[in-house]
A and B are shown apart, each in its own frame.
Chain A
């Protein structure tokens, strides 16, 4: 079974802090994704990566950056956390970029920025 793990289930940070969210997958997937989930808005793509050191912006990249130094690990960085970044963050991976491949999701990190 594909397993996608996220470093924290719950996180509380203060405004202005630098925040790292880590995601690891164990199935040698090429593609990895970061979403944020807010009530009534569904899932919105922040960034995705299709290879090591390769990344592309999603629909809402402002205020975020990412890093993928190893194939299995994809990190989301909030350079200076703000209260409007309080949200549920979901990481996902897929085998490759073929459109018929499903994405496998981690359990999510609920981030609160005070």
Chain B
């Protein structure tokens, strides 16, 4: 069965600092992996996804994530945090079936300090 673990429910960085949000997954089949962002009082918005091919995936708003099979990780990074990046971030893995179901991590709240 697939599962997702996000390390750290809250991460705080200073504006301009590196953002690193950690995600580890468990999957018995090659995974499809997603990062979503949720701004206050809004639904989730796709940041990026890994399907096949290049392991470094670039997303919107300057975010990127690297799929590392040996470490079963899909960490999200951004070189320089902006105040507008403050939000909750969710990592998800696709269930190995033709249902379109996703399994989400618990979420990480990113705080950006001025």
Contacts and interface: CB of A to CB of B under 8 A. Distances in A.
A84 interface: no
Given A102-B49, A108-B42, A42 B106 contact: yes
23 contacts: A4-B43, A31-B99, A33-B100, A40-B106, A42-B105, A42-B107, A43-B44, A43-B90, A45-B101, A48-B101, A50-B100, A58-B101, A92-B43, A97-B97, A97-B99, A99-B95, A103-B44, A103-B100, A105-B43, A107-B42, A107-B43, A108-B42, A108-B43
Contacts of B51: 100
Interface in A44-93: 45, 48, 50, 56, 58, 90, 92
Nearest to A31: B100
B32 A99 contact: yes
Interface string B72-114: 0000000000000000001000111111111011110000000
Interface string B39-63: 0011111100101000000000000
A41 interface: yes
A73 B42 CA distance: 20
A11 to B, nearest CB: 14
B14 interface: no
A67 to B, nearest CB: 19
A94 interface: yes
A40 B9 contact: yes
A99 B98 contact: yes
Contact of A98 (B34, B44, B46, B100): B100
A100 to B, nearest CB: 4
Given A31-B99, A40-B9, A43-B104, A99 B45 contact: no
B45 A100 contact: no
A54 to B, nearest CB: 11
Contacts of B96: 99
A86 B98 CA distance: 31
Given A31-B99, A43-B90, A90-B44, A100 B105 contact: no
Given A42-B104, A107-B43, A108-B42, 5 more contacts: A40-B9, A48-B100, A92-B43, A99-B96, A100-B49
